[in-house]
Structure 1
């Protein structure tokens, strides 16, 4: 069987996967269209395996990393009677209060990639919380396809309230100094933008390829923003010009970066959309932003 490489795959395949991952097409349609690119030595199973997440071999900071204390916590959802769960991580033996970071997952629940990002944040001297929006439905089911289907059934406005409740939980945590920012990816990028709209005390927001707020909402933002976009992500980038206009008109502190020749999801090192150069540079900028706005 041919060993696939990123350069073997046409951009149309990445665009097709993006449509599927964002519920633009169902799985049957996705597989039917994907089969058109399975030619010669490239079989459909090989192509599907290549573009699907590989969590087993991609974790940067292991769940049992001895430098960290990581635990599953719960807090009340604003929707009565429901509980939210999340991964809380902090450096072991931390004796002083430190700034907090909310880490927001994509549109498939708290999967291993986002748990990994949560631990990466904690290693930088923050207390980090990654809530799971699927908590009221039993939590991330162990695979992204089912997670995506589950999350589709939840109201986006209710999930936003759940992440805001997570912010309040972290802000009042005994190990947090009260300064809390957010970083989110895809759906989490939209949540990050909307938390900036809703929370005037938010210390900062870093949306990765996140859908932008409506202009009336965008004008309410008080938090500084670091906006990370993929150059090939036409779907999300279409909303940038109007968002940028509102940010400038209202003197909202922001920096925006467009990473050349990379796809939506370039930070996610578990799929071939990952671009190491762009991911590393964007993460370097993210940490510098957090250090500036939460530690200085």
Structure 2
């Protein structure tokens, strides 16, 4: 079945925007999946994932966390972020956050391009200060999908996030008591203070080689278990960070296939009443 896809504005004054996909021939409201972006924004990969979840029978929506009133800051415009991603894909991932090594690689670029890529990287590696705004938008998006958007009105909402968006998916589980489920792909877990507020089941996927994130997962799982929360997680052997992103060198097809199948099963359980 074909899909209807479009960019839309939403929010009290249309200040937010996002990419939506839904089955073309279905007019009744469907359960919704919020697809939460990596640091690259709602790029071709996130749009593709949004369409994949729509093809599975959901109203899928990817909020553009970088845009306000239809505009992104200049360093976070899609073409600028794409150039920054291409630069990072060409250097070892271990050098990404090593300022000295990153600057040495940047120095090999043409002078005009070096400045543009450097400015975009400065934004992308310092998004933590924007997280309160991202959380506010995610909470508002879930409410809007449940209460306003005609193609998901009155239906359950779950979130699936990747990297930065994975961490945001975990936070949303604690901030939105009506969320039906949260999936975290290689993102940081919710804080200890937020764990008591989580009301929905959670599912996590991690790469064994992604030490910065994955080494914290067993303790997170224990904390959630002790708090009586439902959290199932999978650590894929020899998989790196971003193993699910098929536009990057880190893509690992076996882990991605398994994680996608488990995600669809999870969404079926938390968003529909036909399988329990």
User: Is the TM-score greater than 0.5?
Assistant: yes
State the secondary structure of the residue aligned to 2:193.
Answer: helix
Maintained 8 Å contact 1:193/1:205: yes
Deviation by residue 1:35-63 (Cα, 9 ceiling, x = unmatched): xxxxxxxxxxxxxxxxxxxxxxxxxxxxx
Residue of structure 1 in register with 2:89 after alignment = none
Query: For 2:78 and 2:248, how far apart are their aligned partners in 1?
Result: 19
**Is 2:225 the partner of 1:290?**
no
Deviation by residue 1:166-213 (Cα, 9 ceiling, x = unmatched): 111211221214200000000000000000011111000001001012
Query: For 2:122 and 2:40, how far apart are their aligned partners in 1?
Result: 8
What does residue range 204-243 of structure 1 map to in structure 2 within 5 Å? 204-243=181-220
Match of 2:168 among 172, 191, 198: 191
Shift in Å at residue 243 of structure 1?
1.3
TM-score norm. by structure 1 comes to 0.73
Residue of structure 2 in register with 1:50 after alignment = none
**Is 2:142 the partner of 1:167?**
yes
Shift in Å at residue 241 of structure 1?
2.8
Residue of structure 2 in register with 1:271 after alignment = 248
Deviation by residue 1:245-286 (Cα, 9 ceiling, x = unmatched): 221112111211001101000000001100001001100000
Residue of structure 2 in register with 1:258 after alignment = 235
| Structure 1: runs of 5 or more not aligned | 1-65
Query: For 1:135 and 1:205, how far apart are their aligned partners in 2?
Result: 23
TM-score norm. by structure 2 comes to 0.78
**Is 2:28 the partner of 1:96?**
yes
Query: For 1:289 and 1:162, how far apart are their aligned partners in 2?
Result: 24
Change (3 A) 1:148 1:205: farther
State the secondary structure of the residue aligned to 1:98.
Answer: coil
State the secondary structure of the residue aligned to 1:181.
Answer: strand
Query: For 2:121 and 2:272, how far apart are their aligned partners in 1?
Result: 35
Query: For 2:226 and 2:18, how far apart are their aligned partners in 1?
Result: 37
**Is 2:71 the partner of 1:138?**
yes
RMSD: 1.8
Change (3 A) 1:148 1:103: farther
Deviation by residue 1:122-180 (Cα, 9 ceiling, x = unmatched): 00000011011111282442233266544536611111111111111211221214200
Maintained 8 Å contact 2:23/2:54: yes
Query: For 1:163 and 1:247, how far apart are their aligned partners in 2?
Result: 22
Maintained 8 Å contact 1:215/1:242: no
Query: For 1:217 and 1:183, how far apart are their aligned partners in 2?
Result: 18
Query: For 1:233 and 1:83, how far apart are their aligned partners in 2?
Result: 35
Query: For 1:214 and 1:241, how far apart are their aligned partners in 2?
Result: 14
Change (3 A) 1:148 1:121: farther
Maintained 8 Å contact 2:16/2:64: yes
| Structure 2: runs of 5 or more not aligned | 85-116
**Is 2:56 the partner of 1:124?**
yes
Q: Bigger shift: 243-252 or 268-277?
A: 243-252
